[in-house]
């Protein structure tokens, strides 16, 4: 057991690595790492289950630095405990191009970073998904191979952000007892004391949501140890309010906003070395302190080996299933079941809304792929995200289900889905109305940044939702999502395209997919079965013309039907038009130039979409035309709205004739 002196020196190693790295970079946030060094030292030396030599060990504890601006706390811990990705050169080049030590922790930059944090509140909200993922996998595979905690360091900023309330409420309701939040209760934000902007009692918030709450001196290692030990024994999630001094050790700036987001300066650092009795030069760690930290990192090897023995003792089928899920591989038989269903669509030709078509294909996929975990933000009956094989996931039910009732928490749902995906073993999808991607957007952006396979089922995708009016009609949302890097947006035109869109979504391992689905019924336009996935190409000729093409009609989603109607009217007038379905701009843009040229052709082009016309010039060219929305919608039945705003076959015919 380390002595008080050893603890102080180990904590000071974090403080000086952090402060010196920020100083060298001439930017950063030294105050939080300095203030939470004691808490982090106790956590990493006494409790956290990890092994730097096996950083992706599935049963490791997860550590989430929600207060991501204090990234040097995490980098220091990873360096000191022996993670290969964070040698001293990385610490010395904090915030520099090409190094893993970015200004905020970036998932995928280095082992030991469990999730990208920085946007305040995202870490604590994502941690709900991590903790829930552990419970879901535990229910399937048992305590012997899945039994770990999720620890979070969150600050005042995380708890002021509205997403935190959604996360706190959700975790309390689901009794995620292996979730422990360490609140850096330093009372300081960028502007100064938090009393400038809030008088909220965070402890009461957590208590009201069903959490166990403790309050301790965050610089007392014995109190920290006792609090974490108690938190591990509860049957609810836990919050430990750690009263700390931001910038602990800084002689004149400690406890003030001056340490929050700026280097301390050479004079303050010299005074800090004197005050804390630290004689080492910048980036030098005394040998005994370094050995103590490396010893703390090495202690997880025993746990890892014991876990390996238990895992090897599993029956072969269960072991194979666990490995498959953790590796993110789909079951071998899913594609056969999927193709059988797609063939059935072309035979039965169901005229259904694509939101219903989505549910129909989910009935097939969730049977074949048991790790698919669905959900909805209180719109299950509208999003059609629940299938017959999915029981609800509840605390009382032992987390054995496959469907989450997220409640009216779009932002929290999206963040939790990121956590589920990052935890591993789970393929999450969740739904709301497309207009409410506004609430999900920060989490969707992080899905994209982290290349996570998360599926966002966004229904009521245009003015076609009708009577709910312009507040619910997502005129501009698809354009904004198309503008976000690494997000695949798919707006399918019928039941066949919807099925293919789902096949693309669950095999897309490089980022999230947004499915934009209709409320209104649509006919099947693809009446001939084929094995290959045309939606995977992003765009294709769905209805060709006889003879030389004189005009190309391009559409997505519900407007492909309108384009096909316009094609028939143009044919009656002696004009050859081809119809291109363009369900995904991102997938189409990824095709070869030759393929795209062949699909779009050289004839004049007219596009139609019951959404903003923004961005369509890329496909119709300077001389093309776009039939679409130039403002917000209105409250009326869908057919009336389409007629009122000119989203019609006649309008498309008129535009085409002006170009021919």
pLDDT, position 1: 43
Is the same domain home to 282 and 423?
Answer: no
**Residue 634 sits in the same domain as residue 574:** yes
Domain boundary among 269, 285, 304: 304
Domain match, 405 and 548 both: no
Query: CA-CA distance, 318 to 45, in Å (whole number)?
Result: 33
Element of type H or E holding 433: strand 427-433
SS3 521: strand
Indicate which residue of 106, 114, 410, 500 is catalytic. Answer: 410
The verdict on whether 225 is a catalytic residue reads no
Instruction: Tell me which DSSP letter residue 628 carries.
Output: E
For β-strands 551-555 and 427-433, DSSP reports them as unpaired
| Residue 105 contacts residue 74 (beta carbons within 8 Å) | yes
Estimate the crossing angle of helix 4-25 against helix 71-80, to 10 degrees: 120
Same structural domain, 413 and 464: yes
Is 519 inside any structural domain? no
Q: Using only the alpha carbons of the chain, give its radius of gyration.
A: 28
Q: How far is residue 4's CA from residue 584's CA, in Å, rounded to a whole number?
A: 60
**Alpha-carbon distances, residue 187 vs 18, 243, 301 (angstroms):** 21, 9, 38
Residue 311 lies in a domain: no
Q: Which domain holds residue 370?
A: 331-514
How confident is the model at residue 397, as a pLDDT? 87
pTM beyond 0.85: the answer is: yes
Element (H, E) at 192: strand 192-193
Q: Which two tokens stand for residue 81?
A: 């405990």
* Final residue in a domain of this structure, among 265, 287, 304: 304
Considering the domain architecture, whether residues 477 and 547 belong to the same structural domain is answered as no
Residue the block writes with tokens 């700026």 = 262
Number of domains in the chain: 3
Is the same domain home to 266 and 351? no
- The rounded average pLDDT for each run of 10 residues, N- to C-terminus, in the chain (660 residues) is 75 98 98 98 98 98 98 98 98 98 98 98 98 98 98 98 98 98 97 96 98 98 98 98 98 97 98 97 97 97 98 97 98 96 97 98 98 98 98 94 98 98 98 98 98 98 97 98 98 98 96 98 96 97 97 98 98 98 98 98 98 98 96 98 98 97
Residue 232, domain member (yes or no): yes
pLDDT confidence of residue 4: 60
Burial of residue 312 (number of CB atoms within 10 Å: 0-12, 13-18, 19+):
exposed
Domain with 620 in it: what CATH number?
3.40.50.920
Domain with 179 in it: what CATH number?
3.40.50.970
Residue 320 lies in a domain: no
Cβ neighbourhood burial of 218 (10 Å; 0-12, 13-18, 19+): buried
The answer to whether the beta carbons of residues 457 and 431 sit under 8 Å apart is yes
* Whether residues 382 and 284 fall in one domain: no
pLDDT tens profile 324-341:
999 999 999 999 999 999
Number of H helices, E strands in the chain: 27, 20
Asked whether residue 532 is domain-assigned, the answer is no
- For residue 240, what is the enclosing H or E element? strand 238-243
Q: Which residue has the tokens 């959490």?
A: 211
* Neighbouring-strand partners of residue 606: 553, 625
523 within a domain of the structure (yes/no): no
Do 267 and 148 belong together in one domain? Answer: yes
Read off the pLDDT of residues 194-219 as tens digits, 9 standing for 90 and up: 999 999 999 999 999 999 999 999 99
Rounded to whole angstroms, the Cα distance separating 162 from 614 reads: 31
How many Cα atoms are found within 13 Å in the side-chain-facing hemisphere of 517? 30
483 and 560: one domain?
no
Q: Which of 465, 481, 514 is the last residue of a domain?
A: 514
Domain assignment of residue 526, yes or no = no
Residue 93: CB atoms within 10 Å: 16
C-alpha 373/C-alpha 137 separation (Å) is: 11
Whether residue 235 is found in the same domain as residue 106: yes
The dihedral formed by the CA atoms of 204, 206, 212 and 218, expressed in degrees to the nearest 10:
-80
Are 108 and 249 in the same domain? yes
- Specify if 151 maps to a domain: yes
- pLDDT value of residue 124: 98
Same-domain check for residues 365 and 217: no
């Amino acid at each position: 057991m380390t002595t008080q002196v050893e603890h102080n020196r180990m904590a000071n190693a974090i403080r000086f690595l952090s402060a010196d790295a920020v100083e060298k970079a001439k930017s950063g946030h030294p105050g939080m790492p300095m203030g939470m060094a004691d808490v982090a030292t106790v956590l990493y030396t006494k409790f956290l289950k990890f092994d730097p030599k096996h950083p992706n060990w599935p049963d490791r504890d997860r550590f989430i630095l929600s207060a991501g601006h204090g990234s040097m706390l995490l980098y220091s811990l990873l360096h000191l405990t022996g993670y290969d990705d964070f040698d001293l050169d990385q610490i010395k080049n904090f915030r520099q191009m090409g190094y893993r030590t970015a200004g905020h922790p970036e998932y995928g930059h280095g082992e030991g970073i469990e999730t990208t944090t920085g946007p305040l509140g995202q870490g604590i909200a994502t941690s709900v998904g991590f903790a829930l993922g552990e419970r879901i996998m535990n229910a399937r595979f048992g305590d012997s191979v899945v039994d770990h905690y999720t620890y979070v360091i969150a600050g005042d900023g995380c708890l002021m952000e509205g997403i935190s309330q959604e996360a706190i409420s959700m975790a309390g309701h689901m009794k995620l007892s292996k979730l422990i939040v360490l609140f850096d209760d330093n009372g300081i934000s960028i502007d100064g004391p938090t009393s400038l902007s809030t008088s909220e009692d965070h402890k009461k918030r957590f208590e009201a949501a069903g959490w166990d709450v403790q309050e301790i001196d965050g610089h007392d290692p014995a109190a920290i140890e006792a609090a974490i030990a108690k938190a591990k024994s509860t049957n609810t999630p836990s919050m430990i309010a750690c009263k700390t001094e931001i910038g602990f050790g800084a002689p004149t700036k400690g406890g003030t906003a001056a340490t929050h987001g700026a280097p301390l300066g050479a004079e303050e650092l010299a005074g800090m070395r004197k005050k804390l009795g630290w004689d080492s030069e910048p980036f030098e760690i005394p040998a005994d302190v370094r050995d103590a930290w490396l010893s703390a990192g090495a202690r997880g090897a025993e746990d890892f080996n014991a876990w390996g023995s238990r895992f090897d003792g599993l029956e072969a089928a269960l072991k194979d299933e666990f490995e498959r899920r953790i590796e993110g591989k789909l079951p071998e038989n899913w594609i056969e079941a999927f193709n059988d269903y797609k063939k059935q669509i072309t035979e039965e030709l169901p005229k259904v809304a694509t939101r219903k078509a989505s549910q129909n294909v989910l009935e097939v996929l969730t049977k074949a792929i048991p790790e698919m975990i669905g959900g909805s933000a209180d719109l299950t009956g509208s999003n059609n995200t629940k299938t017959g094989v999915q029981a609800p996931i509840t605390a009382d039910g032992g987390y054995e289900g496959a469907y989450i009732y997220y409640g009216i928490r779009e932002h929290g749902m999206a963040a939790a889905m990121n956590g589920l995906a990052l935890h591993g073993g789970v393929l999450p999808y969740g739904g709301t109305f497309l207009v409410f991607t506004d609430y999900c957007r920060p989490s969707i952006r992080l899905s994209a940044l982290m290349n996570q396979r998360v599926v966002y089922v966004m229904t009521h995708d245009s003015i076609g939702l009708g009577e709910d009016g312009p507040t619910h009609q997502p005129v501009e949302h698809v354009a904004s999502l198309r503008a976000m890097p690494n997000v695949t947006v798919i707006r399918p035109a019928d039941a066949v395209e919807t099925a293919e869109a789902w096949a693309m979504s669950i095999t897309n391992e490089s980022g999230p997919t947004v499915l934009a689905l209709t409320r209104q019924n649509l006919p099947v336009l693809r009446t001939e079965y084929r094995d290959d996935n045309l939606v995977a190409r992003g765009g294709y000729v769905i209805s060709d013309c006889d003879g030389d093409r004189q005009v190309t009609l391009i559409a997505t989603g519900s407007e492909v039907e309108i384009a096909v109607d316009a094609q028939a009217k143009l044919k009656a007038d002696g004009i050859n038009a081809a119809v291109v379905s363009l369900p995904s701009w991102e997938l189409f843009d990824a095709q070869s130039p030759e393929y795209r040229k062949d699909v779009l052709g050289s004839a004049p082009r007219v596009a139609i979409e019951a959404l903003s016309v923004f961005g369509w010039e890329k496909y119709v060219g300077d001389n093309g035309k776009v039939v679409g929305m130039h403002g917000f919608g209105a409250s009326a039945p869908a057919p009336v709205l389409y007629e009122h705003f000119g989203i019609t076959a006649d309008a498309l015919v008129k535009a085409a004739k002006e170009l021919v």
